[in-house]
Amino acid sequence: MKTAKNSLHILSCIALVVCSLFLQSFKGPVHTFLIKPQYLQNAKDKIQKGDKALLKALDDLKIRADKALKSGPYSVTYKSKVPPSGDKHDYMSVGPYWWPDSTKADGLPYIRKDGQVNPERFTIKDADYHGSLCRDVNLLGLAWYFTGDTKYSDHVAKLLKVWFLDKETRMNPNLNYGQAIPGVTDGRGIGIIDTHVLARLIDGLQLLKDSKSLSQADYQGIQDWYKAFLQWMRTSPIGLDEADEFNNHGTWYDVQTVSIALFTGQDDLAKQILEEQTKKRIASQLANDGSQPHELARTVSWNYSVMNLQGFFQLAALAENVGVDLWNYTTPDGKSIKAAFTWLLPFAEKKKPWTHKQIKPIHPEGFAALARIASQHYPDLDISGLKTDESDKSITLLTNTSY
């Protein structure tokens, strides 16, 4: 009997130690920018109380995170081709819709086939690596936040150090050679769209901020990298060229610059961009009925309409961090993000046929990711006729987002 009591006492002590270590992993509330910190905390509280749906979502998240542990690290220096600068630390990519001219012996200059991706795009992996980095940092950051298991935070720290900090593998903070067109240009402002998902990486990094896996010096080093990148985006000819884009490129330029400004503690700059640039984009990109003429002119008009609206949704979420309400903002002539969503909704519900050019199959189920967010901000809208996409259900339940 005494042995049994001693064993129970030892197990209780171990449990307390584990719980204490877990709680010590977090020095205070997380400060994510797309994901709302309070929802993360609420989800964690419910998991600790045994919420079955969230426990299942957490199990699914851990399965995906465990797979991500086997991926990476990633680096722009791994490519075999050398950029025009002669420095493999410079990011480079090829424009996706540009093809060799079959009437020319050397195929140069390349010609544009909108919506048709040239496989050459994938021979240089920098864009793929950056996308994978953002996905993995976000996923593993969430796994660490909800479990406290350092195997997740350790791997994130490794990924971040290789991409941003290590001298042998770090990327230079510019996109001078993004989306090149052979025979035309070595790089374009349009190439900045290649890194449009970086807001997810920043949220993942914010989740990791107080872990022991990433030192304060390394965190500061990544902030400094992004400060330099933001400076390049806002002052270089290529960056300024993208800032002037009037379609989804301009929208996602704002997503990136606002995200980086928030991450680097430049809240006033983030607010300035939103007030002076993003509101103008709502006015210039949307028609009064909510349609997006610039995106409808594309050969994959559905895809680009949804993609651009996703950018505006992210901007609205980011704007909440600096007290700007884009969810309910309406231009003087009645244009709004809500109207853009409402215009697309009946097509996603298959109540109306899509009559605009679309050379690829439409998958309206993906629109459900936006609908989940819209339902939280526009409760007057009826989205019950929309078929939902369950592919990211675990992330949605744990974060209340679908970004």
Query: Bigger pLDDT: 217 or 8?
Result: 217
Mean pLDDT of 126-143: 98
pLDDT band at 12 (very low <50, low <70, confident <90, very high): very low
Q: What is the DSSP letter of 34?
A: S
Query: Bigger pLDDT: 358 or 21?
Result: 358
d(CA 258, CA 252): 10
Per-residue pLDDT at 24 exceeds 60? no
Fold equal for 71-244 and 259-403: yes
Which CATH architecture describes the domain 259-403?
A: Alpha/alpha barrel (1.50)
Taking the domains of the chain in order of start, what are their residue ranges? 71-244, 259-403
CB burial class (10 A; 0-12, 13-18, 19+) of residue 14? exposed
Which CATH number fits the domain 71-244, given the four candidates 3.20.20.70, 3.10.150.10, 3.40.50.2000, 1.50.10.100?
Answer: 1.50.10.100
Per-residue pLDDT at 5 exceeds 70? no
pLDDT value of position 389: 57
DSSP-assigned states of every residue in 177-214: EEEEBTTTBS--GGGGGGGTTHHHHHHHHHHHTTSSSS
Chain-centre distance of CA 3, in angstroms?
A: 54
Q: Scan for tokens 């079959």, then name that residue.
A: 102
Q: What is the DSSP letter of 66?
A: H
| Amino acid occupying residue 73 | P
Chain-centre distance of CA 183, in angstroms?
A: 32
d(CA 135, CA 3): 49
